[in-house]
Amino acid sequence: QYNLVAEESDDETTRYFIVGDWSGLPVLPFDTPSEVAIADAMGKLGVKLNTTFQLALGDNFYYYDVRAVNNSRFQV
Instruction: Give me the residues paired with residue 18 across strands.
Output: 55
Contact 55, 18 (CB under 8 A): yes
> What is the C-alpha to C-alpha distance for residues 46 and 53, in angstroms, rounded to an integer?
8
**pLDDT tens-digit profile of 39-69?**
888 888 888 888 888 887 766 566 666 677 7
- What angle (nearest 5°) sits at the alpha carbon of residue 15, between those of residues 68 and 8? 160
What are the sequence ranges of the domains in the chain?
Answer: 16-74
Q: How far apart are the first and last CA of the chain?
A: 36
* Whole-prediction pTM: 0.57
Q: What pLDDT does residue 1 have?
A: 45
Note the pLDDT of residue 9.
57
Q: Which residue has the higher pLDDT, 75 or 51?
A: 51
Q: Which of 38, 72, 70, 66 is nearest to 54 (CA)?
A: 38
